[in-house]
Structure 1
Amino acid sequence: MPRPLENLRVVDFTHALAGPYATNVLAQLGAEVIKVESPHGDLFRAYGDDRELAKLGMGIPFVGSNAGKKSVSLDLKKEEAREIVRKLIAESDIVVENMRPGTIKRLGFSYEVCKELRPDIIYCSISGYGQEGPMRDYPAIDNVVQATSGMMMVSGSEEDPPIRVGVPAADTYTATMAALAILAATTQRARFGTGQFIDVAMMDASLIFMYGSTAQYAATGAEHKRTGNMGFSGQPTSGLFRCSDGHLVSLGVVQHNQWVTFCKAAKREDLLEDPRFNTIYDRIDNAPALVEIIEQLFLTKTGEEWERQLSLGGVPCGMIRTVSEAMELEQVKQRNLRVPLNIPGMPNADLGVLGTGFLFAEDGPAVDGPPPFLSENGEEILSMLGYSNQQIADFLASGILQPSKKPETAK
């Protein structure tokens, strides 16, 4: 059985992270994704901590979100290049772009133009604030949208300054929403034969990402208070506790049945008889006393011991780890989240990328190969579109098509 998006072709005008990660999901689900890049290429090609790879156009952030795609680099300021792209779109199923609103239209590839080329095209535009509205033209990147969306004001405690989430959460969740919307539109077209225009905004995605806070505001107009490392429930049994080896454990006991389970799993059934802690509200009212008891309790064992004992006893509980520690867990390894990747001829050629984060029983997501060098597939793509070898040579000579930047050592 083929993967879900086999035989679908995506024209990918995206760069940086939000767009490329969305099309990365489509690629892993089986779509043929063709990056249409400028002569300079995706800016993330020269980005990241590994400067040697970045100089070769294989920056780590680029590798992570572009594995398995194809690349053609065209000078879209030239009409001949735009005609090549029009032919490509006419033979494709999906178009994705994440330029500033209005830019793709000026290049000649608006949804209206693409719909004329292919009436049932699925077209997804990703931007900071959406295609309409008073903030439409504001430039946006992840940390900016974290600020404007309120995301920097949901972490930490009430007295803390704004805190940026330490990963590009706005970019990543925007990409996830875009991939979801494209998949929904693909299903819609398969059932009803219609194309679709999709408008995805980083601002909207960020507000949905903060559902615990924004849903409350949407319902009541009240803003949820910042709770630091304590869960939204406000329960004193939903927070961090230090163990005998110095590790911190996050406890998630928020419901009464979980409190009963916790007392039994921790061998402290006596707390169930203490009238100060009979109900959820009793435990909140007597939080200082209960926190002191639990703090002393956790100091009797190591973090791993408490994590295992409580988790096996049915208590939501987990030890704080670094990202590297989490990635090296046997549980994570068995789920094949890290996919080995080799880029022939490159220094540090044996790398790894992330899968989609979900598993199928069969014919599920897969990484088909390394990311492309700039315009690595240009001649192949033009040949597929019916251009002759002489035409392709002429395009290369005139700068309409950029030559492959794949180094000889990688061939």
Structure 2
Amino acid sequence: MVVGVLAGYRIIDMTTVLAGPLGVYQLALLGADVIKVEVPGTGDVARDFGADADLRERQMGPSFLASNSQKSSVTINLKSDGGREAFRRLVRASDALVENMRPGVLARLGFSPDELLALNPDLVYCSLTGFGSSGPLAQYPAYDQIIQGLAGMASVTGFPDGDGVRVGFPVCDALGGYVAALAVAAGLANTASPRGVYLDVAMLDAALSAMSWVSSEALFGRHPRRIGNDNAASSPSGTFYAADGPLNIATNTLEQFRTLCRVVGRDDLPDDPRFATREDRKARRSELSALLNEALSLRTVEEWVTELAAEGVPSGPLLEVPDALHQPQVRSRGLVHQVTLPGPDSRQVSVLGSPIHVNGEPLRPERAPAELGSDTERVLLDVGCQPEEIARWREEGAI
């Protein structure tokens, strides 16, 4: 096992569904000791999401498995006196806390940012919500598709003759989670004493920030539009068609354009006055693409990708997700791992590890997600709670 760079830090994960769990999962893979605090009896609703009925029955739905390996599970009822006391003990003994409740929910339970930092002046507290803790939309509910629409992301996705469409996976959830993970890691790296800080992350802000070039163009007066699979910044750059299907090709420099034309047998195109400059090629994108597609239709995707790569022109096939996960490049990097689920049958399932390698080694989960509440007693004992207190809280339904 690779020792992660966050080994020794304890992080409370109070997030549910996707954005928060995905972000905190990255911190767990980096070595942090993550304690997932869930509602007794039900837990994270994502436990029941996904296509595999057997896994849903175990409260280990595929959606939950995607982001919750390498975490312990503690159940605490924060609406009870005993639950709040148990939570206070956990906060005092932790380094960071991440939650994705609507602004004010945790405060109404007695745990505002000020109250949490008073309990633990060194706590890195991160709130991840759709719109942040301020502004006219702060109290609005939000899911990924809502953020995609409000960020203008859908307006630039799709083809010019159709409506804007959502990106094919919850990209705003993922962006929000990764930004939250970055914020927490930065907070933990702070050497000030005390280092306590309140970090307010909004999915909408994260989305617009990630749309960097598109957002920048809009700030300078241009109205970004849908252009399908083409690259707004250059041409020829987009999806083209070989004898057996589509492939992506990107030429961002004149030299790459010249090389592409030479490889496909159209050396004449770079000297054609219609395509002399980048702006000329962008203005006549459809005309240029048609000429290239005619040449590309003579060979297969694999043949073109192999030859273009050898010549330094970026290209690649358009894979289905199962093929993407099993391609040799991904397998060689060790991104997909097997974990064994708790239970008598020791079922093994595949999960994604970290995209980060440490000293040449992939960061992988060593254990599957925990069964709901299975670590409650162990964790509470670790943070100083007494056995008789734990027994009383359990009898009261507080944990």
Structure 2 SS opposite 1:199: strand
Structure 1 SS opposite 2:51: coil
Distance 1:198 1:276, change over 3 A: same
Tell me if the contact between 1:35 and 1:70 (Cα under 8 Å) persists in the aligned partners: yes
In structure 1, how many angstroms separate the alpha carbons of the residues matched to 2:319 and 2:307? 17
1:170-189 correspondence runs (5 A):
170-188=172-190
Tell me if the contact between 1:75 and 1:81 (Cα under 8 Å) persists in the aligned partners: yes
How far apart are residue 192 of structure 1 and its match? 6.1
**Aligned residue in 1 for 2:125:** 123
Distance 1:83 1:226, change over 3 A: same
**Aligned residue in 2 for 1:19:** 20
**Aligned residue in 2 for 1:150:** 152
Matching residue's letter, 2:304: W
| Worse-superposed segment, 314-323 or 258-267 | 258-267
| Worse-superposed segment, 26-35 or 262-271 | 262-271
| Worse-superposed segment, 360-369 or 106-115 | 360-369
**Aligned residue in 2 for 1:224:** 224
Q: Are 2:372 and 1:374 equivalent residues in the alignment?
A: yes
**Aligned residue in 2 for 1:133:** 135
Distance 1:365 1:109, change over 3 A: farther
1:212-258 alpha-carbon deviations (Å, 9 max, x no partner): 2112122x1322122111101252x112221112x101111132121
How far apart are residue 339 of structure 1 and its match? 1.6
Tell me if the contact between 1:2 and 1:363 (Cα under 8 Å) persists in the aligned partners: no
**Aligned residue in 1 for 2:32:** 31
Structure 2 SS opposite 1:167: coil
Structure 2 SS opposite 1:239: strand
In structure 2, how many angstroms separate the alpha carbons of the residues matched to 1:92 and 1:258? 52
1:8-407 correspondence runs (5 A):
8-39=9-40, 40-188=42-190, 190=191, 193-218=194-219, 220-235=220-235, 237-245=236-244, 247-345=245-343, 349-361=347-359, 365-401=363-399
Matching residue's letter, 1:67: S
In structure 2, how many angstroms separate the alpha carbons of the residues matched to 1:90 and 1:213? 43
Tell me if the contact between 1:53 and 1:347 (Cα under 8 Å) persists in the aligned partners: no
How far apart are residue 137 of structure 1 and its match? 0.4
Tell me if the contact between 1:33 and 1:70 (Cα under 8 Å) persists in the aligned partners: yes
Distance 1:58 1:270, change over 3 A: same
Matching residue's letter, 2:338: P
In structure 2, how many angstroms separate the alpha carbons of the residues matched to 1:123 and 1:333? 36
In structure 2, how many angstroms separate the alpha carbons of the residues matched to 1:348 and 1:159? 51
Tell me if the contact between 2:266 and 2:295 (Cα under 8 Å) persists in the aligned partners: no
Tell me if the contact between 1:7 and 1:32 (Cα under 8 Å) persists in the aligned partners: yes
Structure-2-length-normalised TM-score: 0.94
Tell me if the contact between 1:47 and 1:54 (Cα under 8 Å) persists in the aligned partners: yes
Matching residue's letter, 2:210: F
In structure 2, how many angstroms separate the alpha carbons of the residues matched to 1:292 and 1:209? 32
How far apart are residue 148 of structure 1 and its match? 1.7
How far apart are residue 383 of structure 1 and its match? 1.5
| Worse-superposed segment, 348-357 or 41-50 | 348-357
Tell me if the contact between 2:240 and 2:248 (Cα under 8 Å) persists in the aligned partners: yes
| Worse-superposed segment, 304-313 or 287-296 | 287-296
Percent of aligned pairs sharing the same letter:
36
How far apart are residue 362 of structure 1 and its match? 5.2
**Which structure 2 segments of 5+ residues have no match?**
none
Matching residue's letter, 2:94: S
Tell me if the contact between 2:122 and 2:193 (Cα under 8 Å) persists in the aligned partners: no
In structure 1, how many angstroms separate the alpha carbons of the residues matched to 2:211 and 2:346? 37
Distance 1:64 1:347, change over 3 A: farther
In structure 2, how many angstroms separate the alpha carbons of the residues matched to 1:97 and 1:183? 15
Tell me if the contact between 1:266 and 1:310 (Cα under 8 Å) persists in the aligned partners: no
Distance 1:287 1:103, change over 3 A: closer
How far apart are residue 110 of structure 1 and its match? 1.7
Residue correspondences, number: 397
In structure 1, how many angstroms separate the alpha carbons of the residues matched to 2:223 and 2:286? 25
Tell me if the contact between 1:49 and 1:60 (Cα under 8 Å) persists in the aligned partners: yes
In structure 1, how many angstroms separate the alpha carbons of the residues matched to 2:396 and 2:284? 77
CA-atom RMSD in angstroms:
1.9
Tell me if the contact between 1:3 and 1:363 (Cα under 8 Å) persists in the aligned partners: no
| Worse-superposed segment, 352-361 or 271-280 | 271-280
**Aligned residue in 2 for 1:405:** none
| Worse-superposed segment, 172-181 or 153-162 | 153-162
| Worse-superposed segment, 315-324 or 277-286 | 277-286
